[in-house]
Amino acid sequence: MSKHVNQENNRKKKRWMLAALILLLLLLITSCSVTIWSLFFRDTTPTLAPDYAPQEIEPNATPTPEEDQDDEKLEQSQGGGSVSISYTKEVIVDLSDEMISLNFTNPTRSNQDMVVQVFIHGSVVAQTKRLPPGYELKKLELLDSANLSAGGYEGKFVISYYNNDGEKAVVKTEIPLTVKVQE
Amino acid sequence: MKKVLSIVLAIAMIATMSVVSFAAAGSASKEAVGAFDAIDVTATYASGEKVPSYLIDLEWENLAFTYTSTNETWDTDEYKWVASVGGSWSAAIEDAVTVTNHSSVGVTAKAAYASAEGYEAAIGTIDTELKTLGIGGAADSSVAYDLSMSGTLPQGTEDAVIGTVTITIADIVDGE
């Protein structure tokens, strides 16, 4: 009798252990899947410009030539803003070094910092850090998530503005671009 | 006699040397050895390709509005003030946004207002017609937009960003 009870108990234990093993296995598979997804498949593309200006100045930006540095500031009303933007409408993407060649300047006479995004077909393919007045941009890194092949595209600059306190302005600018992508 | 004749001949030869000095300037013919007409060298300045250069100024006023509800009533169930239907906005802002073109070519400007999430009932109105701005320095190289608000604002809203004005700058397309 006791032998039969022992066997029954053993069987129950085995069933519990099997169930626990299956549960742990499922947990392991789930955690591996989440890890793989977050490492390789998660879309980290920024689509919105930040609400506050990035602290860091865009590392690819350089000061404008000295003759532009003495320009008088634009007038700006209290609580308002004023900017000047200088650019060319053609940008070239080099897929081999994942860089964009462009011409964009936040002239010295501006009163706001800028964040410049390059959009192609509704997706951000490049985004600057803070571009203060008196800085120009000739190259910019392509985002890892940019999925482009060689050819011509219609794109746009989206420019957001930030005051001295880093607060984002309620005005922004969009500029259509011609984007040439080469290998 | 021979000596006299020799002397006379020598003097005569010396005298003929001066004849050359009476030769007119520039009278040498092309056939003369070592003489050429001046050859004109000409040149023409041809402009290289002009790549349009864009410089745009954008200025905006303090785009802050106040919404005043008609009246509020005390809700005895919730113990709070509840806004009644209806209210009014502060006055439209004239020249709220000004765009000035300093570029080497004319451009177009198009304004649009978009409500922020949660404030869709507050409606911003701005002239959305496509404007053509002349080349930098031209009389028509600037445009100013007025901005007004209508609709309603959620109770308790304070210094919130309720919308964004977007200005799109583009090339002038044939026919615009």
Bridge partners for A61 per DSSP: A137
CB contacts, 8 Å: A86 with chain B: 53-56
From the list B51, B52, B169, the residue facing A173 with the nearest CB is B169
Q: Has the ipTM of the complex gone over 0.85?
A: no
Instruction: Quote the mean pLDDT of chain B.
Output: 86
From the list A76, A80, A170, the residue facing B161 with the nearest CB is A170
Interface subset of A 27-86, CB within 8 angstroms of B: 74-86
What is the secondary structure of B1-22 as a DSSP string?
A: -HHHHHHHHHHHHHHHHGGGGG
Closest CA to B118 of B83, B161, B82, B77: B161
**Is A175 in contact with B168 (Cβ distance < 8 A)?**
yes
**Is B168 in contact with A75 (Cβ distance < 8 A)?**
no
Interface subset of A 93-152, CB within 8 angstroms of B: 107
Higher pLDDT pick, A153 / A55: A153
Band (pLDDT 50/70/90 cuts) for residue B111 is: very high
**Is A74 in contact with B59 (Cβ distance < 8 A)?**
yes
CB contacts, 8 Å: B97 with chain A: 171
Higher pLDDT pick, B176 / A172: A172
CB contacts, 8 Å: A81 with chain B: 59-60
**Is A172 in contact with B168 (Cβ distance < 8 A)?**
no
The rounded Cα B122 to chain-centroid distance in angstroms is 35
From the list A86, A170, A171, the residue facing B58 with the nearest CB is A171
Given a cut of 80, is residue A34 above it in pLDDT?
no
Q: CB–CB of B87/A108 below 8 Å?
A: no
pTM: 0.73
Q: Look at residue A30 in the predicted model and tell me its pLDDT.
A: 87
Band (pLDDT 50/70/90 cuts) for residue B8 is: confident
Q: Look at residue B137 in the predicted model and tell me its pLDDT.
A: 86
Bridge partners for A92 per DSSP: A101, A180
Helix (H) or strand (E) holding A24: helix A2-36
What would the mean pLDDT of A7-14 be, rounded to a whole number?
87
Alpha carbon of A148: minimum distance to chain B alpha carbons (Å): 24
From the list B57, B102, B169, the residue facing A175 with the nearest CB is B169
Given a cut of 70, is residue B67 above it in pLDDT?
yes
What is the secondary structure of A113-136 as a DSSP string?
A: EEEEEEEETTEEEEE-SBB-TTEE
Given a cut of 60, is residue B161 above it in pLDDT?
yes
Q: Look at residue B37 in the predicted model and tell me its pLDDT.
A: 79
Q: Give the separation between CA B66 and CA B69, rounded to whole angstroms.
A: 10
The tokens for B102 are 């300093």
CB contacts, 8 Å: A173 with chain B: 56, 58, 166-169
